[in-house]
Amino acid sequence: MPIEAPRRTALRRIAAGLAGTVAVAAGFVTWAVHRPDVLFAKGRCYGGAPVKKKALVVYATRAGSTGEVARVISERLCAMGFDAEVQPVDSVSSVSGYQAVVLGSAVRYGAWLPEMTKFIAFQQSALSQLPLAIFTLHMQALGDDTASQAARAGYTKAVRAVVNPRDEVFFAGKVDPTTLSFFERMAVKLVRSPVGDKRDWDRIRRWADGLSETLH
């Protein structure tokens, strides 16, 4: 039976309304998850001193601060005579050819970033043959009390279940709302995370300098 003209018009209006709502919702989600592009730290430097070891520093980041720390670590390794390379995790397919590895990740929602945990699972056997150190950037549980220490340890529990680093360190990181998406800014507000650049570069350099012993 043909639909009467007034009903047809009403159905068309409902369909147009629904399509408009879906388009607005899709536009909102696209806007709300969008964050500014990150400049990924990448590079290689040569130690020159007779260490004759190649070190790889691999990191996972969302907003860039972990990559900047990774770069400084690689520069310190070079200052101590390593040939060091720094790469974001998505650019690394293998750790073969290196004699030492440093892995670092930002914490999001209580854990290392998934691309880094996947990388570790995939490279588990190769990583188990190499001297390994790991570092974490985070903004909560920064204190020296037992509860904070336990919370920090929880961030890398899954990592330590897969690999056995010779050294592990936690660094205060950076939250800059201008580098985050709308949803991320909401999450930061919700958990009342500290905001700002809390990285202690002297401490980061001191830890990196200690790697010369740890990774030999």
Ligand X SMILES: Cc1cc2nc3c(=O)[nH]c(=O)nc-3n(C[C@H](O)[C@H](O)[C@H](O)COP(=O)(O)O)c2cc1C
Interacting residues toward ligand X by CB under 6 A: 61-66, 106-110, 137-141, 173-175, 180, 184, 187-188, 193
* 54/2 Cα distance (integer angstroms): 77
Q: Which of 69, 82, 67, 100 is nearest to 204 (CA)?
A: 69
Toward ligand X, which CB reaches closer, 99 or 181?
181
CA dihedral in degrees (78, 82, 88, 90; nearest 10)? Answer: 160
Toward ligand X, which CB reaches closer, 79 or 151?
151
CB of 89 to ligand X, least distance (A): 11
Query: In the structure encoding, which two tokens stand for residue 108, read together?
Result: 């999001």
CB of 59 to ligand X, least distance (A): 8
**Matching residue, tokens 């400084």:** 72
CB of 25 to ligand X, least distance (A): 22
C-alpha R_g of the chain: 23
Toward ligand X, which CB reaches closer, 30 or 178?
178
* 203/7 Cα distance (integer angstroms): 72
Query: In the structure encoding, which two tokens stand for residue 26, read together?
Result: 């899709």
CB of 92 to ligand X, least distance (A): 16
Toward ligand X, which CB reaches closer, 27 or 36?
36
CB of 107 to ligand X, least distance (A): 4
CB of 3 to ligand X, least distance (A): 49
Q: Which amino acid is at 187?
A: A
CB of 99 within 8 A of CB of 53? yes
Toward ligand X, which CB reaches closer, 47 or 67?
67
* 34/180 Cα distance (integer angstroms): 8
Toward ligand X, which CB reaches closer, 103 or 175?
175
From residue 143, how far is each of 52, 124, 159, 203 by CA, in Å?
A: 38, 31, 22, 15
